[in-house]
């Protein structure tokens, strides 16, 4: 039995920053994550992708952000159970909780914070009959290491931020030898500045932009060789490709969390914005896994949510103690 003050389910950026905030209040944390390393999607899906909306960083790679958060929380010696998904939660007579993983590892704490991000997820695959034949042979649903595409011909499909950002990144940094972006509409769902940048790069010849079109077939032998694109006006277009990268987002699911008796709304955990507590006292939900009016799924919002949740957790663990806010600029970290 692993005993701690706060069990954090999810070791993504929000969970990692919560370790720091809890440490300032002398609360110990233990994190559980189904992935084999900390960082959540930032480590697993896009470690080399730049993030632009973290305060104090004009740009920071997702993987570097995770490393910085690990370093920030290190003085408070968090524990980790990695590669094991949390499966059950049981409330005890003393008001504490026991969280068990799929491998049977048990954790006990008076507070549980769910920071599971999007939860269990899988990529949305386009309805292309031949796509299964080329998975791991040229078809990539996520980009972990852009160096894989060095000198390669890449066809990206999608109209959201991920498709736009990766098209820009692979072309702008001269990683892929050719970048083709295919989208079924003439309008995009991504940020306007990214849309404009893609259009400008297409005008200058750095990206081949094909709109009002869809990838309908893939061809090749032992690996992908060609992508067939069906255009609404120009008919069938066949282009050489080493990689086809459909970036249509992820299908999120709460997984076992949905069976824990929590109030669920739109596949997310409903919380009270006073302290991001759930309908079960002692359980909080922070980051992308929660929902409330005017919710924004941003890392920086998750940092705020975790900070307030920790303050509430302290009051629950130590009802007779008064928490006086101390500033790290005055006390440093070792002063807490």
Q: Which residue, among 33, 45, 109, 100, has the nearest Cα to 70 in the 3D structure? A: 33
- Measured CA to CA, the distance from residue 221 to residue 282 in angstroms comes to 56
Cβ neighbours of residue 175 under 8 Å, at least 6 residues apart? 146, 147, 149, 150, 169
How many angstroms separate the CA atoms of 26 and 15, rounded?
A: 16
Length reported for the chain: 336
Measured in degrees and rounded to the nearest 5, phi and psi for residue 18 equal -60, -30
- Cα–Cα distance, 277 to 284 (Å, whole number): 4
Burial 129-157 (b: 16+ CB within 10 A, else e): eebeebeeebbbbebeebeebeebbbbbb
Distance CA 28, CA 20 (A): 10
Q: Which residues are annotated as a binding site for FAD?
A: 33, 41, 46, 86, 121, 288, 329
Are the CB atoms for 152 and 180 separated by under 8 Å? Answer: no
DSSP 145: -
Phi, psi of 246 (to 5 degrees): -80, 115
Q: Mark the binding-site residues, compressed into ranges.
A: 33, 41, 46, 86, 121, 288, 329
């Amino acid at each position: 039995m692993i005993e701690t003050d706060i069990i954090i389910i999810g070791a993504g950026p929000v969970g990692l920053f919560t370790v720091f905030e809890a440490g300032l209040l002398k609360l110990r944390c233990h994190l559980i994550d189904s992935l084999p390393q900390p960082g959540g999607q930032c480590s697993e899906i896009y470690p080399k992708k730049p993030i632009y909306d973290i305060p104090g960083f004009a740009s920071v790679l997702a993987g570097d952000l995770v490393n910085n958060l690990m370093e920030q929380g290190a003085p408070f010696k968090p524990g980790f159970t990695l590669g094991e998904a949390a499966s059950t939660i049981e409330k005890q007579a003393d008001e504490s909780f026991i969280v068990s993983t799929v491998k049977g590892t048990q954790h006990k704490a008076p507070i549980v914070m769910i920071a599971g991000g999007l939860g269990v997820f899988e990529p949305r695959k386009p309805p292309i009959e031949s796509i299964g034949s080329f998975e791991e042979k040229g078809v990539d649903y996520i980009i972990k290491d852009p160096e894989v595409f060095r000198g390669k011909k890449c066809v990206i499909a999608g109209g959201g931020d991920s498709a736009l950002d990766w098209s820009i990144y692979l072309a702008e940094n001269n990683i892929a030898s050719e970048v083709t972006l295919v989208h079924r509409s003439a309008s995009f769902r991504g940020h306007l500045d990214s849309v404009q940048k893609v259009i400008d790069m297409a005008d200058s010849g750095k990206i081949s932009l094909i709109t009002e079109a869809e990838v309908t077939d893939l061809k090749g032998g032992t690996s992908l060789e060609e992508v067939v694109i069906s255009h609404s006006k120009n008919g069938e277009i066949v282009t050489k490709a080493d990689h086809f990268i459909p970036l249509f987002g992820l299908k999120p699911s709460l997984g076992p969390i949905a069976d824990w008796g929590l109030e669920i709304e739109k596949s997310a955990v409903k919380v009270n914005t006073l302290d991001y507590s759930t309908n079960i006292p002692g359980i909080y939900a922070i980051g992308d896994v929660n929902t409330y009016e005017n919710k924004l799924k941003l890392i920086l919002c998750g940092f705020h949510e975790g900070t307030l949740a920790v303050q509430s957790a302290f009051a629950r663990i130590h009802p007779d103690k008064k928490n006086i806010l101390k500033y790290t600029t005055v006390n440093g970290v070792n002063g807490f």
